[in-house]
Structure 1
Amino acid sequence: LPLALYTATFAVHFMVLSKSGPGDGFFSSAFQARLSGNNLHNASIPEHLAYGSVITVKNLRMAIGYLHSHRHLYPEGIGARQQQVTTYLHKDYNNLWIIKKHNTNSDPLDPSFPVEFVRHGDIIRLEHKETSRNLHSHYHEAPLTRKHYQVTGYGINGTGDSNDFWRIEVVNRKFGNRIKVLRSRIRFIHLVTGCVLGSSGKVLPKWGWEQLEVTCTPYLKETLNSIWNVEDHINPKLPNISLDVLQPSFPEMLLESHMVMIRGNSGLKPKDNEFTSKPWHWPINYQGLRFSGVNDTDFRVYLLGNPVVWWLNLLSITLYLLSGSIIAVAMQRGARLPAEVAGHTARKGQSWTRAWNLCPLLVF
C-alpha cells in the first residue's frame, strides 16, 4: 500500500505538472516531448540528419545537458587560450551548432545543392552558430579531468584546421546508415587524437560560469557520458515528422525523474565562503539548515528547531534511555519492580517517543 500510494502521488504529479520550465534540460528529449510549452511538444522536425542542419546535441547521461559554447575564453594556464566549450542544462541559443562537411565551407542549404544526409562513419565539422568557431580538440589537458584532452572552439568563420574534424558514429549500427534525430545514439571520435567527445559532469569554476566540463577522453569504452543524441533539428529542405511517438510511458518517466533527483541532490555543494552545517548538527539542534538563492538579492531561509522544545525532548529521551538501562540492569540482577513502576515506565517511554516524532520545526 505505501508503494502504491507513493507511485500514485507521482502519477498525479505528472498529470498536474505538465508544462515546460527552466529545468527541462535535466530530462531526456523524450520526456521533454510531453511538456506543454517545450519546443519538442507536439513538434514536427526532420527525421534524418543532413548537412547544413542547425542542431542541438544532448548528452544521454541525465542532468548533463547540451553541448554549449560561448565567447569567453579559457583563462591563462588552463590549456590553450581558446573559446570555452561546456555542457549547459538550459535551452539557449549558444547550444546551436551547424553540421558541415569536413573538407568544404560551402553552404549546404543553397537551393542549387541537393540534400545530402549525414551517415554513420562520416567525417564532419561542427560549427558553433553564434560564434562561427568549430568544435576542436588537441593534446592539451582538460581543465579538471586528468588524462583527458581539452575541447575548445577554434577558427574564424568556420575556417580552422584538422583538429576540427570528427567522425560521427551511431552506437551498434553499420557504416553508411542514416542518423535519426532523437533516436540515434551517437558518438564523436576526434580524427587526430582518436579520443571521444564527452562530459565529465564536473562543475567548472566561476570562469566557466559553473557549467559542466566537456572533455575528449582517450578511453574509448562506451559510457553515457560520451553518447549523445540530436534533439533540435532545423533544415528547411527536409520534410518533418511528428514527435508524438517518442513520448515515454509512466514507468519510464517515474524512473527518469528519480534518477534526475538523485543526480541533482548529489551535485549540491556549498558556494565559496558559504557557512555550512554538518548532518550531525541537525538532530541536536547545534546548527540549522541554510537555504539560499543564487544571487545576493534572493531570499535566504534558515531552518532551525525550536530550542526549548527540541532540547527538552533530547533531555527527556536521554533520561528515558538512562532510566531504562538502569531498570534493565536491575532486572538482570534479579530485582523485582512493582507492576505500577513497570507500567509507568512503559507509558512514559511511549509518550516521549510520540513527542519526539511530533516535534515541529520552526523557521527563524
Structure 2
Amino acid sequence: MAATSTPQGSLRQRNVGGSSKKIKDGAASDVELDKFPKAGAAKSGPAGSDRDYKVVFAFITAMAFLTRFWGISHPNEVVFDEVHFGKFASYYLEKTYFFDVHPPFGKLLFAFMGWLVGYDGHFHFDNIGDSYIANKVPYVAFRSLPAILGALTVSVVYMIMWESGYSLPACVVAAGLVLLDNAHIGQTRLILLDATLVFAMACSLLFYIKFYKLRHEPFSRKWWKWLILTGFALSCDISTKYVGLFAFITIGSAVIIDLWDLLNIKRPGGALSLPDFSKHFAARAFGLIIMPFIFYLFWFQVHFAILTRSGPGDDFMTPEFQETLSDNVMLANAITIDYYDTIVLKHKETKAYLHSHPDRYPLRYDDGRVSSQGQQVTGYPYNDTNNHWEILPSVNDDHKLGRHVKNHDLVRLRHVVTNTYLLSHDVASPYYPTNQEFTTVAETDAFGDRAPDTLFEVRIENGKTNQEFKTVSSHFKFIHNPSKVAMWTHTTPLPDWAFKQQEINGNKQITPSSNIWLVEDIPSLPADHRRRQKEQKQVKTLPFMRKWFELQRSMFWHNNQLTSSHPYASLPYQWPFLLRGVSFWTQNDTRQQIYFLGNPIGWWVASSVLAIYAGIILADQFSLRRGIDALDHRSRSRLYNSTGFFFLAWATHYFPFFVMGRQLFLHHYLPAHLASTLVTGALVEFVFSADSAENEAAYQAIRAGKKPATSAGVKRHVSARERFAGQSMMASWIATILILSIVFAGWYFFLPLTYGYPGLSVDQVLRRKWLGYDLHFAK
C-alpha cells in the first residue's frame, strides 16, 4: 500500500515526432492512443504543470514561514512546557546531567540552537511567566527552531501530495489545512518538541513515497538513498518522542504489503526468486530497522558525551551510573555503615522515611479483617527521631562492633525510641490483603520465639559479594528472610488511626524498582568522625550499552507512571472533533492568553472526510459484491493504494492512544491530523476529478484491439475527455477555494488565542467558546 508512482504532469507521449502517421486498417496508432487522456493524468503539458506546482509551492512555503514567525517574540516570558524543554537545553549547555522521559534528539536540537547563538545555559526556565528579557535569554532563537520545522512541515505535506501524483488543487487543500491550522501554528512557535516530531513523521512519509516510486529500479543509488533517508526520518521521529513508533507501524505495514506483492507469481514480470526476494527483505530490514536503531543509539551517545557533570537527574540512576558523573554529591557523602550504627532509611521512590511510633494497628480494619494489633510501622515524610533505627547483626556478637555491614548480610533493626524490633509476619497488611504486615515486637520476643521473623537481608541493587553497605549510594531492597517479601510502601495514606501516614508492607513481588530503599544518614555518627571525612572520588566509566539500558528502563518506567489527572488532559475520542484545548499562558493585566486549539472548521472538515472515505470504501466493496463496478481501474487503484496509505498513517497514529494509560493531551493528535489532511486532499481529487468508467472502458478496449478505432474516433474521445478534464479541474478549484475560504475564516477568528494577542473582551472570549472551551477571562 503506497502512493501511486506517476505524478501529475509526468506522463510523456511516445513518438511525438511521428504523430502525423496515417491510420492503417482502421486501427489507431500508438501515438493516437497515447493522446487519449488517462484517468488521473496531467491536464496540461508537463513543463507548464511543473511550473505551476513550483510557483504554488514557493507561495505556500512563504506563507508557512510568515504564519509561524509572525509575532514569535510574544510573549517574552516562559510559556507552558517551555519550563521543561528550555531547561533541558540549558542543562546540555552546562553539561549537567538531567532526566526526561523523552529521547534526546529534539532536546539536542534546542541545545545546538542555543550554542549557535552563544548562550551559556545560565537560565533554568524554573517558572511559567519568568521574564526572558530580564534574564537575558535568546528565546527567539530557541523558538525559531520549531518555527522553521513547522513551516517546512507545510512544504513537506505539499510535496507528499505532489510526489503521489495528485492534482494541484489536491496539493493546495492538503497543505492549506496544515498551513491554516491554529494547533500546528501554536505548537511550532514555542520551545516544544512536537514540531520536530511532526516534521520527522511527514518526512518519513515523503521519503518512503519517493523510495516506492523507484520500485522498478531496485538497488539503484537513488533507491538506496531514499530507503536510508526514510529510515533516518523514522529514527528522528522515535528519537524525539516514543510515539514516533507509530510512524514505524505505518511504513512497516506498507513495506509488508509491498514484500507480499513481490512474492505474487502473477505480478507483472513474475514473482521474484527466493534469493532475490531475500535481498529485497534484507535491504528493507537494514534501511528501516537496523540503520534507524543505529541512529537512535547515536543520539544517546551524544547525550551521555555531553552530560558529564552531576545534576538533578542523578536520583533517577543507579550509584554505578552516578559514579560516571563528576561532582556527584551523593557519592562524595557516602559513608560506610557499621553494625550498631543508628541509621535513617528512606524509600527511593516516595521519599518517605521508615517510621514507627507507640500507637498500634486497630483491632479490625474497615473491611472487617482482624489485625495483629502490633505497633504501627509507617512511612513518614519528615525526618525526626522516630525514624532512627539501630542496625544489629543477626545474633548478638560483640565482635561485630565496628565491623562493616555488607551485601546479603542478615540484620535486625531496633527502633531506638520504643526499643522494639522490626518484624514482618503472615498477617495481612491494612490495604493489601495479599501483602504482609510490618510491625515491631519487644526485645524478649525478638530474641525468643519471634526471632526468625525479625531477620532481614540487605540486598544491594547490582551489588557484588562482600560489597560494603553505604549511606546514600547503596540502593538496596530489604528482604524479610523467612518469607522472602520485600519491604515496600506506597503513597495512599492510611486512615486517621495512623495519622494518614504511608503504609509499610511486605511485597511478594521482589523485582520491581519500587521496593528500593537507601540509608540517608547515620545520626549516631559525630560530625567530626573520621568516617565522615570526604575523600576525592575518581570519576569512573561504564560501557555505553549498560548506561543506555539503564536509562531506557528508567524512561519507560517513569513514562508509564504519568497516569495522574491533569486539568487539561483529554481523551482520544475528543480529538477529531476538537472538543477541548489546553491553556498555555495568560496575562491578567492585558487579558491576553494562549490557548492551544486547532482550527475547528479545518479539523471538522478533515474528520468528516475520514468518515466519507471509510464510507466510500465500504460502498465500493458492497457494490462489487453485488456485481456493480462504479469506478474505473485507475481511480480505484489510487483510492485503495495512495489514499489508503494516508488513511493507514492516520489510523496508526490515532487508534493506539486508546490503549494507553498515561496522560494524554490534544497535541498527541497532531501527527494523525496531518495524515487526515492528506486524505482530505486525495478525496477532493477523487470526488471532482475521477474519470468515468465508460471512458476508461473505451480506452482499454481500443488499446486491446477489441474496438475499432479510427483517427477521428480517437480524436472524439480525446476531445470529450479533455472537456471532462477541464470541467473536473474547474470543479476541483472551486471546491478548494470554498474549503480553504471557510478554513481561513476559522483560522483568523481564533488567531488571538494562538498568537496571544490582542487581549479579548468578555464578549469576544464568549464568542470563541464554541464547544465550551475552558478559556480564561470569560467573566
Which residue does 2:603 correspond to in 1? 310
Task: Tell me how far apart the structure 2 counterparts of residues 283 and 143 of structure 1 sit (CA, whole Å).
Answer: 44
1:31 aligns with 2:321: yes
Which residue does 2:430 correspond to in 1? 143
Once the two structures are superposed, what CA deviation does each residue of 1:43-98 show, in whole Å capped at 9, x if it has no partner? 2645x541244656577xxx74667235787886485585553398xxx8579755
Aligned equivalent of 1:7, options 294, 297, 307? 297
Which residue does 2:354 correspond to in 1? 69
Aligned pairs for 1:1-364 (under 5 A) are: 1=232, 2=235, 3-14=293-304, 15-16=306-307, 18-21=309-312, 24-35=314-325, 38-41=328-331, 43=332, 45-46=334-335, 49-53=337-341, 64=349, 68-69=353-354, 77=365, 80=373, 82=375, 84-86=377-379, 93=383, 98-101=389-392, 115-118=402-405, 120-125=408-413, 127=415, 135-137=422-424, 140-152=427-439, 162=446, 165-168=454-457, 179-181=468-470, 187-189=478-480, 194=483, 196-199=485-488, 202-205=490-493, 213-217=503-507, 223-224=511-512, 236-238=529-531, 244=538, 248-270=542-564, 277-287=570-580, 304-327=597-620, 333-335=628-630, 337=632, 356-357=673-674
Task: Tell me how far apart the structure 1 counterparts of residues 606 and 501 of structure 2 sit (CA, whole Å).
Answer: 44
Task: Tell me how far apart the structure 1 counterparts of residues 374 and 596 of structure 2 sit (CA, whole Å).
Answer: 44
| More strand as a share of residues | 1
Q: CA deviation at 1:223?
A: 3.4
| More helix as a share of residues | 2
Task: Tell me how far apart the structure 2 counterparts of residues 322 and 153 of structure 1 sit (CA, whole Å).
Answer: 68
**Structure 1 vs Structure 2 CA RMSD:** 5.6
Task: Tell me how far apart the structure 2 counterparts of residues 209 and 355 of structure 1 sit (CA, whole Å).
Answer: 48
Task: Tell me how far apart the structure 1 counterparts of residues 553 and 416 of structure 2 sit (CA, whole Å).
Answer: 30
Distance of aligned partners of 1:251 and 1:142 in 2 relative to their CA distance in 1, 3 Å threshold = same
Q: CA deviation at 1:204?
A: 1.6
Q: CA deviation at 1:314?
A: 0.3
Distance of aligned partners of 1:188 and 1:97 in 2 relative to their CA distance in 1, 3 Å threshold = farther
Secondary structure of 1:204 counterpart: strand
Which of these two proteins has the greater Rg computed from alpha carbons?
Answer: 2
Q: CA deviation at 1:136?
A: 4.5
Distance of aligned partners of 1:40 and 1:227 in 2 relative to their CA distance in 1, 3 Å threshold = same
Once the two structures are superposed, what CA deviation does each residue of 1:278-331 show, in whole Å capped at 9, x if it has no partner? 43333443455799xxxxxxxxx9865432221111012222333354456657
Distance of aligned partners of 1:229 and 1:356 in 2 relative to their CA distance in 1, 3 Å threshold = closer
**Which stretch has the larger CA shift, 242-251 or 256-265?**
242-251
Task: Tell me how far apart the structure 2 counterparts of residues 194 and 127 of structure 1 sit (CA, whole Å).
Answer: 21
**Which stretch has the larger CA shift, 68-77 or 134-143?**
68-77
Q: How many residues align?
A: 327
Question: Does the 8 Å contact 2:319/2:474 carry over to 1?
Answer: no
Task: Tell me how far apart the structure 1 counterparts of residues 375 and 480 of structure 2 sit (CA, whole Å).
Answer: 20
Question: Does the 8 Å contact 2:430/2:437 carry over to 1?
Answer: yes
Partner letter of residue 68 of structure 1? Y
Question: Does the 8 Å contact 1:135/1:151 carry over to 2?
Answer: yes
**Which stretch has the larger CA shift, 322-331 or 4-13?**
322-331
Task: Tell me how far apart the structure 2 counterparts of residues 75 and 167 of structure 1 sit (CA, whole Å).
Answer: 22
Secondary structure of 1:333 counterpart: coil
**Which stretch has the larger CA shift, 306-315 or 339-348?**
339-348
Question: Does the 8 Å contact 1:134/1:160 carry over to 2?
Answer: no
Task: Tell me how far apart the structure 2 counterparts of residues 194 and 28 of structure 1 sit (CA, whole Å).
Answer: 27
Q: CA deviation at 1:36?
A: 5.6
Task: Tell me how far apart the structure 1 counterparts of residues 298 and 500 of structure 2 sit (CA, whole Å).
Answer: 36
Secondary structure of 1:269 counterpart: coil
Question: Does the 8 Å contact 1:143/1:150 carry over to 2?
Answer: yes
Partner letter of residue 379 of structure 2? T
Once the two structures are superposed, what CA deviation does each residue of 1:207-266 show, in whole Å capped at 9, x if it has no partner? 69999753125x5x8635697575667664548777657654332232222222322233
Task: Tell me how far apart the structure 2 counterparts of residues 12 and 286 of structure 1 sit (CA, whole Å).
Answer: 40
Secondary structure of 2:433 counterpart: coil
TM-score calculated relative to the size of structure 2:
0.33
Which residue does 2:99 correspond to in 1? none
Question: Does the 8 Å contact 2:423/2:440 carry over to 1?
Answer: yes
Distance of aligned partners of 1:165 and 1:282 in 2 relative to their CA distance in 1, 3 Å threshold = same
Task: Tell me how far apart the structure 1 counterparts of residues 505 and 318 of structure 2 sit (CA, whole Å).
Answer: 21
Distance of aligned partners of 1:66 and 1:341 in 2 relative to their CA distance in 1, 3 Å threshold = closer
Distance of aligned partners of 1:226 and 1:282 in 2 relative to their CA distance in 1, 3 Å threshold = closer
* Aligned sequence identity (%): 20
Question: Does the 8 Å contact 1:169/1:187 carry over to 2?
Answer: yes
Task: Tell me how far apart the structure 2 counterparts of residues 100 and 265 of structure 1 sit (CA, whole Å).
Answer: 36
Q: CA deviation at 1:184?
A: 9.0
Partner letter of residue 215 of structure 1? N
TM-score calculated relative to the size of structure 1:
0.60
Partner letter of residue 101 of structure 1? L
Q: CA deviation at 1:104?
A: 11
